[in-house]
Structure formats: structure tokens, C-alpha cells
Chain A
Amino acid sequence: MTNIFNYIDRPSPIHDLTGATKLVCLLLWSFAAMMTYDTRLLVLLVVLSLILFRVSKIRLSDVRFMLGFTAVFMVLNNLLVFLFSPQHGVELYGTRHVLFSLGGSYVITKEQLFYHLNLFLKYLASIPVALLFVCTTNPSEFAASLNRIGVKYTVAYSVALALRYIPDIQREYHEISQAQQARGVEMSKKENLIRRLKSAGAILIPLILSSMDRIEVISNAMELRCFGKNKKRSWYMARPFTKWDWLAMAGSALLLAAALLLNRLNGSRFWNPFA
């Protein structure tokens, strides 16, 4: 991994949207998916996100690692919810349709299965969109996007700088750790925790010292080129909004509105087919 942003440069309508649009859409969409447990809306979000994924020309193989990671997380989450509160669905929906019993208090109910289905759909509705954002947003546009949605540019730029320096610092960490291992600093997992913490110090101290040098150079370089001179700045990578940007944001806003509206109509965040 050279960059936490796994940007994939493959022209598509999604790539054409500005970074700011995608950030706003991601936020709106995630809120919508978080707010609602209404299966109908969740299914709609899932279908839409799969379509968007298709449009973006991102392939499953591009995001296999991230998908695998979230799948494990999703299964774990579902399992834990079931282990700790097997009757959660019953409490939520107020009815109890027993399908079969696993012994003890572990009884499988229709309500519980339905709850897990919703949980599953929530993952499916939000993860692909987040992946889309990561894969289709040029990291260079990211700081400009943050700035556009109201984050101060000095803060936004420090995010961009962090992205710029992560690969360098990773490389430096690796080099320092090799040199320290040669001197006998033990990094293997065989060592006990206290020893390993001490070893980490032997690498972190030089890393921090050399990063301090780096920070001094970079902050001088930035000041000499007028960083912080004005309250605002322009962005080389910023692009003007097109009608598609407005449409995308409006669409996402509609979805959030739908979630809020359904919450109102259902009387809670849950849509209850059992009542």
C-alpha cells in the first residue's frame, strides 16, 4: 500500500464529478443508510449503489481486499449481535414468531432474522459507496473538496500533506527498523509486550527526530511560498460544478429526505412488517 487513497484512474461519469460533490454525496448517503432500518429504502439504496458501482467502472477485483475486510467485519458484527441479544428482533418488533430453537435462550425467530437482514442490507448500502469515493476521488482533489464544504484551508491542506508524506514516512520507518534490528533491537512477535514497546521506542525516537527536521523544512518551504497569507486560496485541482454535480447532490439529499420521512411515517427507525 503506497497510499491510503486507492485512487483508480479510469474515466467514468463518477470520476467526472468533483471531489467535493462526492464527499457531500457520501455524507448524505451514509446518513440516510445509518438513519433507516426500513427494508424498502435499504433495498433501494443497495440497488442504486450496485448500479453506481457499475457506472464507475471499478471492478470487484480492484476492491477485493477492502470487500473481504468488510465482509469479515459484517459477519462478526451479526454474530456478536446474535450471541449477546438473540431476542433483539423480538424486542424491536414486539411480536415473536419462533422458527426453531438452538437450545437455552437461543431461539431463532422470524423477527431476529429480519433484523439481521436489515443489518446486512445496511452494510451493503453504505460500503460500496464509501469504496467508490475512495477509488474515484483523486487525492489531490481531496483537500480542495474539504475546503469547499467549509473546512479551513490550513486544516484541509494538512490532510493533503499527510497523504503526501505517508509513503515517505513508511519507507523511513522501514529503513530505521532494519538498522535498529541489525544493532539487536528485537522486533519479532516472540518478544513480550514490554520488550516490544521498548523496541518500538528505539525506532520511534529516530523517526520522530527525523520527522521534526522534515517538518521544519516543509513549513519553511510553505511560508516562503505564501501559505497562510490570505484567508482564502484557490486550488489548482479544483473544478467547477456542472449540472451533474448538482444532480448528484440533489439525488443524495432526496435519499436522506426519504429516510427521514420514512422514520416519521413508521413512527420509528424500523419498518415493521409483523404488526
Chain B
Amino acid sequence: MDDIIIQFEHFGFQYHAQSEPTLHDINLTVRRGEKILIAGPSGCGKSTLAHCINGLIPFSYRGESSGSLRIAGKETKELSIFDISRHVGTVLQDPDGQFVGLTVAEDIAFALENDCVQEPALHERVQKAAAMVELEDHLRHAPNELSGGQRQRVALAGVLVDDVDVLLFDEPLANLDPATGKAAIELIEQVQKQTGAAVVIIEHRLEDVLHREVDRIVLMGEGRILADTTPDELLSGPWLRDSGIREPLYLTALRYAGVEIRAEMAPRSIRTLRLSDDEKAKVRGWFAAVPPAEERPPRPVLLDVQDLHFTYSGKDHETLRGISLRVGQGELLAIVGRNGAGKSTFSKVVCGFETQQSGTVRFHGEDMAALSIKEHADRIGYVMQNPNQMISKVMIFDEVALGLRKRGLPEDEVKRRVEETLRICGLWPFRSWPISALSFGQKKRVTIAAILVLEPEMIILDEPTAGQDYRHYTEIMEFLLTLQKRGITVAMITHDMHLMLEYAERAVVFSRGRIIADTDCAAVLTDPAIIGEANLKETSLYALAGLCGIADGQAFVRRFIDYERKELRP
């Protein structure tokens, strides 16, 4: 029994600042060498559970615990955070925020330095850890010279310098593009094989983690463990529905086709999935039965961008290298591509934050070059990724009113428009609340409301659903749909392939300052050349079509999208 490394027994925890416990009666055992996925919606307690494992609870976040939690056989109450970190290495969610050193080597060395490890062991161990994550050629690089995926590998190397028994990953996929996320999951597996450590992954993006095998999935909800079983059992069981966790898309498609999902089908991955001929026929039948959606009538052009070139001052390479794009009135489109491809820069030029070196941006046929940043905002609003970067007032009403007041509108007009916007955004019940009392998703709404109140015809949102679980994601996206129905044009910069498939009418793919594809989402997510170039990931629906003997995989993906839009969102 001494291969048990983490053992929760009737464990509960309540933060000092809260009136209710966050964790109830947790019983969980992790053995050496095991790989476990802890999934659950926001607020289910999975982060709290992670903090209990790595010692941040109770050392940084105070509260009252009950029951027992033993790590490597010792009760954590009797250990310090430093003792625990000998056994548990944590890779936090934000690979940028946890970069402590000025260079890769220093960051990897950080734990060793704090342990007073002397030369030559210090350099040797850093070298070894860097080699494990294939960063030995980047030792002298500064964080801003690295991609998001490389930064995450630095963070991983930083815990690999110690021989830990458990590697704990807190939402490792949250800030990565789809292809990098896939590589991260592969790297985690590779490192686990090399070190033999137990791996605990906290993540709500089930399908992406299941890209590689895991031993068990622990599903949490409202502070309790709802299920602790194999991926096959979990995916075929009743737990996932209404849990705020999205099941893999190929399973959703099977369900639509009327195929019952059973553990013997090995549904844990599209590669392991086994379907009987009868089931395959059912899928083919469903594919044939769903009528193709009628062609959308062409929309009048709202935004017309011609041959945009842009270089940041002090940089010698162009960030935008001839971007031409037309956006129709009332469209909902996704802008995708790897980090640094020019998506955000493009938005900034279109919103007037930066000025292009050449090329034109027309809005309703009017050249926007002469307009001020403020006048741009009356036409195209920009919503930043992190709501905390936009909120500057204490009260919701004042935050939404800010732009109108700055424009010198009379107060009764301000009141009328703010109240109307709050109603549209579903914030009316909270109108007299302080912003600090809102959830992340509600704050996001406040920032969208603060932009909408200026009555722009188009809004651009940077990663509108980043870090949101399925429920909040759906909430935000359904809200954007209602805006679209009111005639507002919506462009979203995103890494989320599901978001693209389910909501966007069209995907514009950026790569190295150019647009390499501008077509419907099904075409983008089934084209290996575009997928590779833009760091996207092929949708599992495509593979499912192949498995069921449907030759035109793209059409299958398109049918799936149409079906969802028609049947589930009439």
C-alpha cells in the first residue's frame, strides 16, 4: 500500500471568508504513476482541491479543514508548503504569470536556488530538466522571446528539476492554441513516462485532455466528487449531462444519430472508439436525413478592409502584410490563427488604436483614416480579453455610463441609454451592485455593456470565452447571438474550435500577417494544410465521418453544425 501518494479521507474545507464549505466529504486516492483528470465546472471546487494538494491551502489561502489528507503518507496539517513541494510539483494555469526568472535557465533554476543547490549541480540539473522538455537551446531566452507553449514547458521544467512524486497541472490548456494544447498533452505523457510520477490534471476541456490516455476521471460538482471512474465508464454514464462539462463532439454527434454510448465501445477517444455496422449505418442515416441549411442571402458590406500593411515602431518586420477582408452587416465571424499571427494587431488597427502604414479601412463606405480613436469607437467597439483590464468604476451603472458621460451627453439621456443597455445585457437585476460582487462572466458582460452603450454597429471581442466552463461559455455565446439578432456585427478572436464550429458563420484564418483562409468553419477545420499552418486542430467529427464510411467529411461537419443550429437553437 505504500505506492499511495495522495489520500483524501472524508476531507472537507471551508475558506475563512466564506459561509459555506467549498469541499465536502472528499475521498480520493492517487497512486504513484497514475494519471488522473479532475474535471468539473467553474466553482465546483476543483481548484480548491488542487490548492489542498500543493499546499497553497492552508498556507496561502486560510480556512478550516476537516477529515484527513495525507501526502506521501504524512498528514498535510503537519507539513509546511516547502515539505509538500518536495513531493508535489505544480504547473499553474498562466504560463506567463508564473515565469519568475529573467531567462529560461534562471526560471528553471529557481527552486534549486531556493534550496541552496551549489555549482556544478545547479547547472547540471537545469540542463537535464531543460533537455526533458526540449528547451536546451533556449536557456538564455527571455520570456517575451518564447511562445505560450514554450513558456509552459519552462514552467514544467521548473518543477522537474526536483524529483517530485506528483505533477499537478492546473488548467494547462487554458491559454494555449489548439495545436499547442495537443502538444502539451503529449509532453505531459512523455514526461510522466520518463519520471514515473503521478500526474493530476485539473481541466474542464475533456476532449482535449483525452487526446492521450488517462487512468481515471474524477468529476466534481458543488464541492463533491460525483464520479471517480475510467474515461470509458464516465463518458458512457449519466454524469456528464448538466455537469457544465462538454462531452467530446464525436459523442454528441453519435447521440444525435441515436447511437447509445456504452463503455464497451471505448468512447474515451475517437481513435479507440469501436462502432458496430449497425451503429455506423445509423450515423450515415442521420447524415443523409438532415437537410442542408438553405443558403444565407448575401449581406450588405459593413466593413471593407483593403491591403492593410502595418509595422510596429521599432520593429523591422511587418505585423500585417496586406490584409484584405470584407465583413457583412450582422455577421458573426471568428478570427483564428496562432499567437502572433496578427489577429489582435488587425483589430487594433480597425478600432483606430494603431494607424496602418498603407491600405484602407472603410466602414459603410466611409474611409476611417481621418477619424479619432473615439469616433472609431462609435462605430466599432473593442472588448478586451480580461474584464479587469477595462473596469475602472466601482458601480455597474457608472462603468456603463462612462463612455456616454465622457461624450458630454445630458444625464437623463445617459440614464435612459444605460438602463436600456443593462436590460439588453441581462444586468438589470444587478444595476445597483458594485462590480466587485460579480462573477467573471458577469464582469465580462459589464465590459460588453460599456461598449454597447455607445451603440456601435460592430463589436470585436478578444477571446470572449477564455477560461470559461461550458455553462458560462454557452451563456456568453447565447448573449452574443442575441446581439447579432439585433443587427450588431460580431467578430471574435478565438482559439476555441468548438466556439468556431458552433457559433461562427465564417472563419478568417490569420498566419504570419496574412489571411490564409476565409471560408466556412467546417472547411477550415477539415483542411490539414490550414490546420497545420494556423496551429488549429482537426475536429473529431471529421474522423468520426471517416470511421462511419462517410466520404465527404466536410459535409458531415457542416451537417452537424446546421443540425445544432436548427434543432437546438431554433
Contact = CB atoms under 8 A, between A and B. Distances in A.
Nearest to B351: A182
A223 B116 contact: no
Contact of B389 (A139, A164, A176): A176
A13 interface: no
A172 B101 CA distance: 19
Interface in B55-111: 55-56, 59-60, 81-82, 85, 90, 92, 94, 96-103, 105-106, 109-111
A89 B94 CA distance: 61
A203 interface: yes
B114 A206 contact: no
Nearest to A212: B388
A184 interface: yes
Given A226-B82, A226-B85, A226-B115, A172 B389 contact: yes
A225 B390 contact: no
B390 to A, nearest CB: 6
B144 interface: yes
Contacts of B81: 223-224
A226 B111 contact: yes
B103 A140 contact: yes
Nearest to A171: B144
A225 B54 CA distance: 10
Contact of B114 (A161, A172, A230): A230
A213 to B, nearest CB: 6
A85 interface: no
B100 A230 contact: no
B100 A218 contact: yes
B389 A210 contact: yes
A176 to B, nearest CB: 5
B352 A179 contact: no
A161 B143 CA distance: 13
B14 to A, nearest CB: 20
B392 A205 contact: yes
Nearest to B108: A236
B92 A175 contact: no
A66 interface: no
Nearest to B82: A229
Nearest to B453: A183
B377 A223 contact: no
A5 B270 CA distance: 52
Contacts of B389: 172, 175-176, 179, 206, 210
Interface in A199-251: 201-203, 205-206, 209-210, 213-214, 217-230, 232-237
B271 interface: no
A183 B377 contact: yes
Interface in B294-343: none
B351 A220 contact: no
Nearest to B406: A184
Contacts of A217: 92, 94, 97-98
Contacts of B352: 182
B159 interface: yes
Contacts of A233: 113-116
Interface stretch (B118-126, B223-231, B247-255, B471-479): B118-126
The prevalent SS among residues of A at the interface is: helix
B102 A140 contact: yes
B158 A225 contact: yes
Contact of A185 (B116, B158, B406): B406
B464 to A, nearest CB: 15
B392 A180 contact: yes
A220 B92 contact: yes
A30 interface: no
Contacts, number: 150
B450 interface: yes
Contacts of A183: 377, 402-403, 406, 450-451, 454
Interface string B479-501: 00000000000000000000000
B531 to A, nearest CB: 30
Contact of A234 (B96, B118, B388): B118
Nearest to A167: B144
A182 B377 contact: yes
A158 to B, nearest CB: 11
A224 B85 contact: yes
A45 to B, nearest CB: 32
A237 B85 contact: no
Contacts of A205: 391-392
B376 interface: yes
A182 B382 contact: yes
A230 B109 contact: no
A275 to B, nearest CB: 54
Interface string A14-37: 000000000000000000000000
B438 interface: no
Interface in A163-197: 163-164, 167-168, 172, 175-176, 178-186
A54 B403 CA distance: 56
Given A182-B376, A220-B60, A236-B122, A164 B100 contact: yes
B388 A213 contact: yes
B438 to A, nearest CB: 13
Contacts of B382: 179, 182
Interface centre among B55, B85, B92, B102 (most CB of A within 10 A): B102
Interface centre among A175, A184, A224 (most CB of B within 10 A): A224
B192 interface: no
A161 B100 CA distance: 7
A74 interface: no
B60 A234 contact: no
Q: Sort A-B residue pairs by CB-CB distance and give the 8 closest, nearest first.
A: A184-B406, A221-B98, A217-B97, A236-B109, A182-B377, A225-B111, A183-B403, A226-B114
Interface of A: 139-140, 160-161, 163-164, 167-168, 172, 175-176, 178-186, 201-203, 205-206, 209-210, 213-214, 217-230, 232-237
7 contacts: A179-B384, A183-B454, A214-B97, A228-B114, A230-B114, A234-B112, A236-B105
Given A182-B382, A185-B406, 15 more contacts: A164-B101, A175-B389, A176-B390, A179-B382, A179-B384, A182-B351, A183-B403, A206-B390, A206-B391, A210-B389, A226-B114, A230-B115, A232-B116, A234-B118, A237-B106
